Amino acid sequence: MKLTDYITPQHVKIGLEGVGKGDVIEELVGILVDTSDVTDADAIYDAVMKREGEGSTGLEKGVAIPHAKSDAVKRLSIVVGVSREGIDFDSQDGKPAHLFFLMVAPTSESGPHVQAIAKIVKLIKFDKFRERLIKAKKPQDVVDLIFRVENGEEEG
């Protein structure tokens, strides 16, 4: 399973405009609706916000992985958002999040969803990888970097 099987330049937004957790999730869900086979944007937003209510998906080192399960998607769907300024996301380390990986999977599917989270967590451990994603100028740069690091062509 490769993240780049799910993430294309259309699934990436550099320069998120949201100023809070709800705004950012709404913005990311909008990208998901535009790029994936989504039947109900409100259901996805509600599912992700419900999951956030159970505990923030804001990790450490400027990364958040908001995720949920919803039958409003037919297969695992991932979008990536970048905020150079950072957004308060109730992260574990109390610092703003800069990189957002929104994932939504059908309720009947758990394998790819769990694998994707594990891959992202592994990749974001590399400081240089995170810094390069935050500094990316174009969505294609984000996809290319993920591809190269996933395929061992480049160190994180």
Distance CA 151, CA 82 (A): 22
CATH superfamily of 3-150: Mannitol-specific EII; Chain A (3.40.930.10)
Taking 90 as the threshold, does the pLDDT of residue 109 lie above it? no
- What's this model's pTM, rounded to 2 decimal places? 0.95
Is residue 96 a contact partner of residue 61, using CB atoms and an 8 Å limit? Answer: no
Predicted local confidence at residue 156, as pLDDT: 67
Detail the DSSP E strand segments found in 48-151.
63-64, 67-69, 77-87, 97-105
Taking 90 as the threshold, does the pLDDT of residue 140 lie above it? yes
* Predicted confidence band of residue 113 (pLDDT cuts 50, 70, 90): confident
pLDDT 10s digits, 53-69: 999 999 999 999 999 99
Q: Which residue has the tokens 């979008």?
A: 79
* Predicted confidence band of residue 114 (pLDDT cuts 50, 70, 90): confident
Distance CA 99, CA 9 (A): 15
Total Cβ atoms within 10 A of residue 28? 28
Distance CA 39, CA 27 (A): 17
Is residue 80 a contact partner of residue 142, using CB atoms and an 8 Å limit? Answer: yes
DSSP helix/strand/coil, 142 = helix
Active-site annotation holds for 113: no
DSSP helix/strand/coil, 148 = helix
Could you state, in order of their start, the residue ranges of all structural domains in the chain? 3-150
Is residue 45 a contact partner of residue 65, using CB atoms and an 8 Å limit? Answer: no
Across the strands, what pairs with 64?
58, 100
- Assigned token pair, 24: 């950012």
Q: Which residue has the tokens 């996933």?
A: 150
Total Cβ atoms within 10 A of residue 105? 23
Average pLDDT (81-100) is 94
Q: Annotated catalytic residue: which of 11, 67, 98, 113? A: 67
